[in-house]
Structure 1
């Protein structure tokens, strides 16, 4: 058995998640990407304990990350939206500035998969990122449903328990 397989076996059975959609226009009724994120987490046996929509404002996103990291009910924070390069897109900066540890491989693999499977060279426009704030895993994906599905099914859902095992292994 490889060490990765061993780590996955030692990973927690349950992870409590908060889903956040970053958007200036979406509502709970029109938030297809947030709904998809919640659905895929729940289908994989994860618990969605919080859900919010927040405007793409640097300070609001930073505060939300601080709140999530301080909330004992939230172990993983998953954001979608605001990761592009348009002037209003501040999610990447807010997440980057809130992380204690980065997981650059998440963004790298996400962009590779996007390039290979989906959108070709336009993948360079994505600033998907991930890391750890305190003891909370943080994942930030683009807001399109296709990007959310790709990130969730190919990276986050398969590895979230393993990520939490690493964060909490000295507990």
Structure 2
């Protein structure tokens, strides 16, 4: 199937949204809510929306749980990607990845530079990759960064990425969702 066919398909992807923050609450989680809204508007499913503190073990546990959940195809993290001492999302995600999608971080920083924040883009450590058959994207926690990443990079490629990760004859079921053998 060509890239265009993947993008043109009406495939729904099941996603887990994780906000990494020591300061946000469910009530103030604008970026996590924005991710969920953009997923739903694009016809995807948000299976789980969670918050975790900016602690490596909490982040790793949440990612591991998502990767073993048969209802989750993609994990989207926001927050904890900066250079401050407490920002440990990237240090946690990177060693967990089987494959990195280096183009995601590169393009995110380029778009951030040209479209939004200028030279402050050098502070962004957004990353995308794969753990088993689950795609993982980690972006900064600002609503502007989430909007940019979701609208320009993640949502347009979500079905294509998830489709590429399905193996062993897995296919879309009758509802347009992926069938999965995760255990």
TM-score bin (small chain): over 0.9
Aligned residue pair count: 169
TM-score (norm 2): 0.89
Aligned-residue offset at 1:31: 0.3
Q: Secondary structure at the match of 2:120?
A: helix
Q: Secondary structure at the match of 1:79?
A: strand
- Once residues 4 and 13 of structure 1 are traced to their aligned partners in structure 2, the CA distance between those partners, rounded to angstroms, is 13
Runs ≥4 residues deviating over 2 A: 6-9
**For the structure 1 residues 71 and 12, does the alpha-carbon distance in structure 2 shift closer, same or farther, using more than 3 Å as the test?**
farther
Aligned-residue offset at 1:14: 1.1
- Once residues 12 and 21 of structure 1 are traced to their aligned partners in structure 2, the CA distance between those partners, rounded to angstroms, is 27
**2:156 paired with 1:164:** no
**In the alignment, which residue of structure 2 is the partner of 1:80?**
78
**For the structure 1 residues 45 and 12, does the alpha-carbon distance in structure 2 shift closer, same or farther, using more than 3 Å as the test?**
closer
Q: RMSD of the alignment, in Å?
A: 1.4
Mind listing any 5+ residue stretches in structure 2 that lack a counterpart? 170-183
Among 104, 107, 117, the residue aligned to 1:106: 104
**For the structure 1 residues 45 and 7, does the alpha-carbon distance in structure 2 shift closer, same or farther, using more than 3 Å as the test?**
closer
- Once residues 168 and 4 of structure 2 are traced to their aligned partners in structure 1, the CA distance between those partners, rounded to angstroms, is 19
